Chain A
């Protein structure tokens, strides 16, 4: 049995089979995946991350309806002030989602959109992700089960954030999702993607999010990845920003055994892109973040600031690539990657790459990999804090500087809790924060 055979059996479950354009894309994706499989470390962009353990297994998509999910787990991560779409094992859970009050037609599960308004889905599906060559993307194109279609019409400002909550519940389960976010001219939205799991078994989540930002559109996009200890995770966030469009992306990755997130954007004239991120690779986790910003037109601004922590036998990878194309004069790009190693066996590879083809540009990047500052440890000890707590406080502080940027506050606190739960021997008092 392989994925092709497995999905042949499940074919009726895949949405949009009646649409020729989608069938063609699915078939192309399937063919690409059948020949190439998942990416291998021989590929330059995957050289630090070996996904062979995923290849060895055959994860199984959910059959029929979405499974029941533990209410307490779900509510712990649901934001009180947000609309939410909930996907359990990759299947939309309508009864768990909160969509009341959403403007008509702005948010739909993708499977439903493919039935009701396929031309809307067609306009955005695989237009940006088509540029991304590798097997994971092909895999999601071929086998996606559902996703969210978020289409904000010109001039509309979505008053509340929309949260997409992904819960994995089944051992050896497979969730394959494609999300589409399209924000038209002068419109604004906030989208949060939360990835969690229940139970202790292994599973695979593969999700691709395509983001279309029209002229002067604004999107704040936050991804929180707190999958379980044995989970495998691939996430691709691929954006295109038209003239003066603004993207603020924040990525917090604390979970999973092997997780890779790609965040790529193409910046049009005067566009602004801010990427913030934090990963915390504890235990035996391998967390890989790959960013790529292409400045295609003049005067765009990008600010990228990543922090990584590795403890135990954890391994972190950050590849940040910025490409300034020939026409992109007056580009203003800054990237920083600061990393903290907490143990001898931990490892972080941080690889910034600038590729500049224009001459009148401002580009800067900086990378640091270091340990806790002993004078700061002593300062805290001299105030009565024991050494271990002092170390934990400083580790938390290093991470928290990133988390502090997260809005709304309810999400910030959630991320802080997740961070504390994931930190080695955390004894930080949350009620004091």
Chain B
């Protein structure tokens, strides 16, 4: 599904990612943990195609294509989805408008016809109920005045409607209460299948109680310094990052 090879990225001539390699097979769930400022969001943004990052080395292959050559919207239509750590507020465009625009962009790209208005409403109503969001949310501006937790659930709503192949969740669990965390985890688990892969960026082992990862990586100072099974997350929870890489710990 996704292959990252020795990826180097800098921002304003400041190196941030310094040789990341990661291989995510179809159907796998990878968790990425690591101290603040280690480059997790940078990696997420580069995968989604945000401008302002300069790739100075390495390559990223997604479903056999050079991902870095594609525009952000092309990546989205090909099934790459980023749930933002800080979703933006866009007053004046309703959530439902964006959902429709996004879903139809994906469908057109696949050569499918646009979704029928009634079918669409039914689809969205089902998903929104599962996420325990009020239907009124659909008609509000995108994330406008949403609480932190509501914004995160809204990201998951978009993901649930679009059913992307590669879902990158950047700290979607941060700021969620226990119930919301379960709801978000259910959203991910219900999409989990051999066709869908996940990269979960998180600071807390808590999320991984609900979504069991195949692999856990530790990102520090722009490199993956350790990878392991789900037990690695438990170990990090109790010991912190210091024991892995003293120099990384010093910068926290």
Contact = CB atoms under 8 A, between A and B. Distances in A.
Given A379-B90, A394-B90, A385 B102 contact: yes
B226 interface: no
Given A384-B105, A385-B105, A432-B100, A378 B93 contact: no
B92 A400 contact: yes
Interface residues of A, number: 29
A45 interface: no
Contacts of B90: 376, 379-380, 394, 397
A429 B101 CA distance: 9
B98 interface: yes
Nearest to A404: B92
Given A396-B92, A397-B141, A401-B92, A385 B73 contact: yes
Contacts of B87: 379
A398 to B, nearest CB: 6
A342 to B, nearest CB: 15
Contact of A380 (B51, B98, B117): B98
Contacts of B162: 383-384
Contacts of B51: 374, 378
Nearest to A399: B92
A381 B75 CA distance: 9
B88 A376 contact: yes
A373 interface: yes
Contacts of B72: 378, 381-382
Interface in B139-174: 141-142, 158, 162
A191 B16 CA distance: 60
Interface string A398-409: 111100100000
B115 to A, nearest CB: 11
A376 B158 CA distance: 16
Contacts of A394: 90, 93
Interface in A360-386: 373-376, 378-386
A433 interface: yes
A345 interface: no
Given A393-B93, A397-B93, A432-B101, A382 B82 contact: yes
B30 interface: no
Interface in A418-433: 429, 431-433
B100 A383 contact: no
Nearest to A395: B92
Interface in B73-91: 73, 75-77, 81-82, 84, 87-88, 90-91
A381 B102 contact: no
A433 B91 contact: no
A387 interface: yes
Interface in B36-52: 48-51
A250 B109 CA distance: 41
A398 B92 contact: yes
Nearest to B114: A429
Contacts of A382: 48-50, 72-73, 75-76, 81-82, 84
B99 to A, nearest CB: 9
Given A384-B73, A397-B91, A378 B98 contact: no
B155 to A, nearest CB: 10
Given A378-B50, A433-B97, A384 B77 contact: yes
B116 to A, nearest CB: 12
A17 to B, nearest CB: 51
A385 B101 contact: yes
Contacts of A380: 90, 98, 101
A429 B90 CA distance: 17
Nearest to B105: A384
A151 to B, nearest CB: 38
A404 B91 CA distance: 11
A187 B108 CA distance: 54
Given A378-B50, A383-B101, A384-B102, A397 B92 contact: yes
Contact of A383 (B71, B102, B117): B102
Nearest to A375: B88
Nearest to B144: A401
Contacts of B158: 383
B88 A401 contact: no
Nearest to B48: A382
A433 B100 CA distance: 10
A432 B97 contact: yes
Nearest to A428: B97
A381 B92 contact: no
B83 to A, nearest CB: 10
Given A378-B51, A378-B72, A384 B101 contact: yes
8 contacts: A373-B88, A379-B87, A384-B76, A384-B77, A384-B162, A385-B102, A397-B91, A432-B97
Given A378-B48, A387-B73, 9 more contacts: A379-B142, A381-B49, A381-B73, A382-B48, A383-B162, A384-B77, A389-B101, A393-B97, A432-B100
